[in-house]
Amino acid sequence: QVQFVQSGAEVKKPGDSVKVSCKASGHTFRNEGIHWVRQAPGQKLEWMGWIVPTNGDIQYAQKFQGRVTFTRDKSPAIIAYMEMNNLKSEDTATYYCATSKGITLSAPPGSDHWGQGTLVTVSS
Amino acid sequence: QSALTQPPSASGSPGQSVTISCTGTSSDIGGSNYVSWYQQHPGKAPKLMIYEVTKRPSGVPDRFSGSKSGNTASLTVSGLQAEDEADYYCSSYADNNMRVFGSGTKVTVL
């Protein structure tokens, strides 16, 4: 049973940083990436980038380059992290980690695994 | 990378069909066979319904079908059912190994 379990909700002030974790279990990663996707309240999905847990390859969407950092631990379990600094009110959103064939091209055919989402609220 | 363009809403009565369009450019949809569609119910994570333009993951009903022509992809839901009422997002591989999502379409079952 593949599961991605994310860390709990966060409340931050403008200018703060936040680090969201995503622990993977029941899945053997080969070269597929864990993607990060965010969704502001009532808004569309927004792709942020990915990290490949096995070799550490990373790609960021242009919008988040320089303000977001992806990292990962490999042992004893794979945990992916998304850290965002200099938070603004418009960063208030639910942040998802996912390995889904729709966005993870090297994932197994039809696979679709998402974390439960982490709500990050930025408010003064 | 700009979001792919989808109509804000679409609707149909039970049993009818609804088709949602997703328009991009030659840098994403037009240049890629990696177009996918996600269904999202309120408060839930997205669910993959179509990948690689036309393929359905195991467990997705064959009422859902995908296609592509030029820079526009489409999702058709045939035989609409109440549980199909949800938000739908397209997604595409884009230049430089990027990904881009659509603006989203709210499907209402009348």
Q: Do B98 and A110 touch (CB under 8 A)?
A: no
The confidence score (pLDDT) of residue B46 equals: 97
Return the residue matching tokens 């053997």: A28
Is B79's pLDDT higher than 90? yes
Average pLDDT over residues A32-53: 96
Strand B86-94 and strand A112-114: pairing? unpaired
Q: Which chain B residue shows the shortest CA-CA distance from A112? A: B48
Nearest-CA neighbor of B99 among A120, A59, A7? A59
Q: Which residues of B touch A103 (CB under 8 A)?
A: 36, 91, 99
Is B53's pLDDT higher than 90? yes
φ and ψ at A108, to 5 degrees?
A: -60, 150
Average pLDDT over residues B49-60: 97
Comparing A56 with A27, the larger pLDDT belongs to: A56
Average pLDDT over residues A69-75: 93
Average pLDDT over residues A56-68: 95
What CA–CA distance (Å, rounded) separates A14 from A4?
A: 28
What CA–CA distance (Å, rounded) separates A26 from A5?
A: 11
Question: What's the token pair of residue A72?
Answer: 């990962």
Shortest CA gap A74–chain B (Å): 24
Shortest CA gap A124–chain B (Å): 25
Cβ neighbours of A105 (radius 10 Å): 16
| Cβ–Cβ < 8 Å for A12, A87 | yes
The confidence score (pLDDT) of residue B30 equals: 95
Is B1's pLDDT higher than 80? no
Comparing B1 with B104, the larger pLDDT belongs to: B104
Q: Is B99 within 8 Å of chain A by CB?
A: yes
B86: β partners: B107
Portion of chain B with pLDDT greater than 70, in percent: 100
Q: pLDDT grade, residue A65 (50/70/90)?
A: very high
Name the amino acid, one letter, at A77: A
The confidence score (pLDDT) of residue A77 equals: 86
Residues 6+ apart with CB under 8 A from B75: B19, B20, B22, B37, B49, B50, B64, B65, B66, B88, B90
Q: pLDDT grade, residue A89 (50/70/90)?
A: very high
Average pLDDT over residues B80-104: 96
Strand A79-84 and strand B72-77: pairing? unpaired
Average pLDDT taken over every residue of chain A:
94
**DSSP category for residue A26:** S
Instruction: Number of A to B CB contacts under 8 A, please give it.
Output: 72
Q: pLDDT grade, residue A30 (50/70/90)?
A: confident
Q: Which chain B residue shows the shortest CA-CA distance from A97? A: B45
Q: Do A103 and B99 touch (CB under 8 A)?
A: yes
Q: pLDDT grade, residue A28 (50/70/90)?
A: confident
Is A74's pLDDT higher than 90? no
